[in-house]
Amino acid sequence: MLRTHTCGELRLDHVNQEVTLAGWVQRVRNKGGLIWVDLRDRYGLTQLIFEEDSSEKALLEKAAELGREFVVQTTGKVIERTSKNDKIPTGSIEIKVTALEVLNAAKVPPFIIEDETDGGEELRMKYRYLDLRRNVVREKLQLRHKMMQETRKYMDAQDFIEVETPVLIKSTPEGARDFVVPSRTNPGEFYALPQSPQTFKQLLMVSGFDRYFQIVKCFRDEDLRADRQPEFTQIDCEMAFVTQEDILNTFEGLTKHLFSKVKGVELEEVKRMTYADAMKYYGNDKPDVRFDMKFVELNELAQGKGFSIFDQAELVVGICAKGAAEYTRKQIDALTEWVKRPQIGAKGMIYAKYNADGTIKSSVDKFYSPDDLQDWADAFGAAQGDLMLILSGDADKVRKQLSELRLKMGEDLGLRDRTVFKPLWVMDFPLLEWDEETARFHAMHHPFTSPKKEDMALLDTDPGAVRANAYDLVINGVEIGGGSIRIHDRTTQQLMFKHLGFTEEEAQKQFGFLMEAFEYGAPPHGGIAFGFDRLCAIFGGSDSIRDYIAFPKNNSGRDVMIDSPSSIADEQLKELSIQLAMKK
């Protein structure tokens, strides 16, 4: 080894020991006859001292030539610092250097490699190998490492077997757009990169493996945002001979284990909510339940009073912001403009303030009497000092708009505390959802999700009303994982494909291998997949998953560090039997 200790290891107990350290120069402070150098590695930082009276002149001159990010090896004696630094673990000691070797000089880095940097995101992504030297980034990857280890410990203790599944698979029509890979040995044919190992983990259940998991790379060619990457990681899991309750309990256990071992947080029992209630009271299927502010429907109280905007609306619905009646007219006008933005799409907003003197002031006072407004307040459960915010319009649209407003109010009022964790199971999703563009039903989750037995008869008469044996785990308004009890017999699977608009030939071509496997004794089974990157971001208190991925891609799906994707040579295209269309 080129070192006897790391840069985060030495303490007062090591005083008078001769040690050798190796690492990167964080900074140099040159006082002429006295030079201090902060030396850094992944474990911490140690101060080196070079003194003119006790060091060789050549050694002092060598230290003066050091620059940021030089890689050096140094030997010296551990001494107690006269001016201690209580902000770092090694702050009570320093190294009185007797030997210094530059292992590799460095150019001046394009940004400061410290917790507070001057580099923008695109620049730091271009030099990601430098960004990874920063403590704040490295700590996120260390968190990811710990979560991987604790996941494996828990799953192993629950008798799960980790099995790798193929990366080059068959392209299927459901879900997001596939990434495809041309086959040189099979001209004109293509592999697809897996969006998830869904069919393989079901085949493992048919194979009798009983309990499978994998921390696996998945790929989706879709538009990107802060919590999406073209390649991402799942904790993928499947169990045989289980009910939905068994799966919820098992993976509630995993969630509690991770919070306990990684965050030191003991979670309470994970609450459960139906999809129907989530949409009714929160306007989305991943509600943030760290705060209340449930939706209250006002059709019966607000319509028929001559206010045409409400009278013509399919739904009049609002939220009560506790303690927000002191909002000024300027603040309320700003909220109104916020909900009218194209991203939200509301036409306007009505408010009602429950003042401290017991009166209620509304923006529609001329249409509603004080008694009418009191009825509103009673419906909201409002008290003096509260602010009621109301939207109206088409039911589906207005719920989505109010959901965004609720989240904004929660943020503005400090109710979305990142140190508080409120996990929630959302259950009983619709099996199918109607797609206006294709004018047919699509699977809300995927085509292998089992319908509830009691709803099977509705498949022919009212497909949109059929509920699925499906469940999502939501933490603080973020979908962390989702799964379902699967179909495990050919007849039901063929029926499902039929309702999804597959012809028998299409179903056989795409999924014949799975339906045939079901005829060889497939056990009842189900599972779940956790978005591992999102889970890491939740644990780390971040909105973006990028810092939890060693080499992420930008919003255009590009790796600006290695300049990928990129064109390939004509010879390679010819080998793959690919001819590029000419750009117009």
- Identify the helix (H) or strand (E) that includes residue 197: none
The predicted-structure confidence for 425-459, as pLDDT tens digits, reads as follows 999 999 988 877 777 788 888 899 999 999 988 88
Which is higher by pLDDT, 227 or 573? 573
Is 121 labeled as ligand-binding? no
Residue 514: CB partners within 8 Å, gap ≥ 6? 199, 202, 203, 448, 493
Is 436 labeled as ligand-binding? no
In angstroms, the CA 195 to CA 221 distance is 9
Where are the extended beta strands (E) located within 342-461? 350-354, 360-362, 387-393, 423-427, 432-435, 440-443
Residue 10 and residue 46 in contact, taking contact as beta carbons nearer than 8 Å: yes
Is 229 labeled as ligand-binding? yes
With 50 as the cut, is the pLDDT of residue 584 above it? no
The predicted-structure confidence for 352-372, as pLDDT tens digits, reads as follows 999 999 999 999 999 999 999
- Report the percent of the chain where pLDDT is more than 90: 87
Q: Measured in whole angstroms, how far is the alpha carbon of residue 334 from the centre of its chain?
A: 30
Domain residue spans of the chain = 12-104, 121-272+529-583, 291-413
With 70 as the cut, is the pLDDT of residue 55 above it? no
| DSSP structure class, residue 132 | T
Is 486 labeled as ligand-binding? yes
Q: What is the pLDDT of residue 582?
A: 63
Is 257 labeled as ligand-binding? no
Give just the sign of the alpha carbon dihedral 396, 399, 405, 410: negative
Is 341 labeled as ligand-binding? no
Residue 217 and residue 232 in contact, taking contact as beta carbons nearer than 8 Å: yes
Give the pairing of strands 190-192 and 211-219: unpaired
Report helix, strand or coil for 199.
helix
Least confident of 241-250, 452-461, 472-481, 530-539: 452-461
The predicted-structure confidence for 277-316, as pLDDT tens digits, reads as follows 999 999 999 999 999 999 999 999 999 999 999 999 999 9
With 70 as the cut, is the pLDDT of residue 173 above it? no
Is 68 labeled as ligand-binding? no
Is 222 labeled as ligand-binding? yes
The tokens of 357 are what? Answer: 């003197």
What would the mean pLDDT of 333-347 be, rounded to a whole number?
96
Instruction: Using alpha carbons, list the distances in angstroms from residue 59 to 26, 99, 375.
Output: 19, 7, 83
Is 220 labeled as ligand-binding? yes
In angstroms, the CA 426 to CA 476 distance is 13
With 60 as the cut, is the pLDDT of residue 44 above it? yes
The tokens of 300 are what? Answer: 């019966």
Residue 360 and residue 353 in contact, taking contact as beta carbons nearer than 8 Å: yes
What would the mean pLDDT of 450-469 be, rounded to a whole number?
90
Q: What is the pLDDT of residue 226?
A: 62
Summary mean pLDDT of the chain = 94
Where are the extended beta strands (E) located within 64-131? 71-80, 93-104
Q: Which residues does residue 274 pair with via DSSP β-bridges, in sequence order?
A: 427
The predicted-structure confidence for 112-160, as pLDDT tens digits, reads as follows 999 999 999 999 999 999 999 999 999 999 999 999 999 999 999 999 9
- Identify the helix (H) or strand (E) that includes residue 547: none
In angstroms, the CA 574 to CA 570 distance is 6
Q: What is the pLDDT of residue 501?
A: 83
Give the pairing of strands 350-354 and 296-297: unpaired
Is 221 labeled as ligand-binding? yes
In angstroms, the CA 322 to CA 283 distance is 19
The predicted-structure confidence for 228-277, as pLDDT tens digits, reads as follows 899 999 999 999 999 999 999 999 999 999 999 999 999 988 999 999 99
Which is higher by pLDDT, 530 or 446? 530
